[in-house]
Amino acid sequence: MSVLELRAVSKVYGQGVTEVVALHDVDLAVDPGQMVAVMGPSGSGKSSLLTIAGSLEAPTSGEVLVGGGKLAEMSRDELARLRRRSIGYVFQDFNLLPGLTAVENVSLPLELDGLSARRARAAGMTALERLDLADRAGHFPDQLSGGERQRVAIARAVVGDRRLLLADEPTGALDSSTGEAVMRLIRQACKQGVAAVVVTHDAQSASWADRVIFLRDDRVTDGTSPPAGPESLLAPGPGFPSGPAL
């Protein structure tokens, strides 16, 4: 059974002359252990796809299922529980709580779900260590660089027993070496059965995925397995947009 399914999902914002179609009849299934990269030009609906997949907003039409459960049939409490326990989300703007340290930000979802503070902090520290942030665990977000805040957000998204990881440009604020470490961590989560959807403009990051899909003009226009190396993603060719579309 797929961890995530989008069935004929459409999303429309506004009405009349202000109407904007973000997604139109999008179908997508992501299985356990699979990483799917989503690429496409700005405004093609990539971020809308993630927020709908993560139950942060509802589609205008179509169905979204996570772990076989239909999101439209869940109560607000059930959706909150699903996000807390099963879905890890990496936002472009990090969304870290300014009054909590790095390790407290990472361990908070586990504590909210009833894990003891000691065990939650231990799990948080492990996640930070994997991203070379153990020495920054006691620092607050405004004491961290942009790249460090991004890595804390990644650690928070993968800590605990998550089934679905949704990442919006997870390597956007990172240098190539740290970006590779982040993608390796996401890949490691997939090896443990997590399903991941990663929105990216970066061909190097997309090359870590099992599948690459493209959004253009609110539709999925092509899907493919990544070629042998990231350099081939940079070259124009069938199914791969060139220039600013990446």
- The predicted pLDDT at position 177 comes to 82
Burial class (CB in 10 A: 0-12, 13-18, 19+), 192: exposed
Query: What is the tens place of the pLDDT at every residue in 177-190?
Result: 878 888 888 888 89
Residues 155, 100, single domain; the answer is: yes
pLDDT at 59 over 60: yes
Question: Is residue 125 assigned to a domain?
Answer: yes
Query: What is the tens place of the pLDDT at every residue in 76-105?
Result: 999 998 998 899 998 877 889 999 999 999
Averaged pLDDT, 144-165: 88
Total-model pTM:
0.83
* Domain containing residue 18: 1-52+60-86+163-174+197-246
Residues 117, 20, single domain; the answer is: no
The band of 172, judged by pLDDT with boundaries at 50, 70 and 90, is confident
The type of residue at 230 is P
Residues 103, 74, single domain; the answer is: no
- The predicted pLDDT at position 107 comes to 95
Residues 168, 241, single domain; the answer is: yes
Residues 75, 170, single domain; the answer is: yes
Instruction: Answer for the pair 6, 181: CB distance below 8 angstroms, yes or no.
Output: no
Question: Is residue 190 assigned to a domain?
Answer: no
- The predicted pLDDT at position 228 comes to 53
Q: Which of 106, 132, 160 is the C-terminal boundary of a domain?
A: 160
Of residues 162 and 174, the one with the higher pLDDT is 162
The band of 243, judged by pLDDT with boundaries at 50, 70 and 90, is very low
What value, to the nearest 5°, has the Cα angle with vertex 225 and ends 220 and 230? 105
Tokens 């970066």 appear where? 202
pLDDT at 16 over 70: yes
Encode burial over 83-97: b for 16+ CB neighbours within 10 A, e otherwise.
bebbbbbbbbebebe
- The predicted pLDDT at position 181 comes to 80
pLDDT at 242 over 60: no
Residues 130, 221, single domain; the answer is: no
Query: What is the tens place of the pLDDT at every residue in 101-137?
Result: 999 999 998 998 889 999 999 999 998 998 889 999 9
Most distant CA atoms of the chain, gap in Å: 54
Question: For the chain, what is the domain count?
Answer: 2
- The predicted pLDDT at position 237 comes to 46
Residues 76, 8, single domain; the answer is: yes
Residues 14, 102, single domain; the answer is: no
Of residues 58 and 130, the one with the higher pLDDT is 58
Residues 20, 68, single domain; the answer is: yes
The type of residue at 3 is V
List, in sequence order, the alpha helices (H) in the chain.
Answer: 46-53, 76-85, 102-112, 117-130, 146-158, 176-191, 203-206, 230-234
Question: Is residue 218 assigned to a domain?
Answer: yes
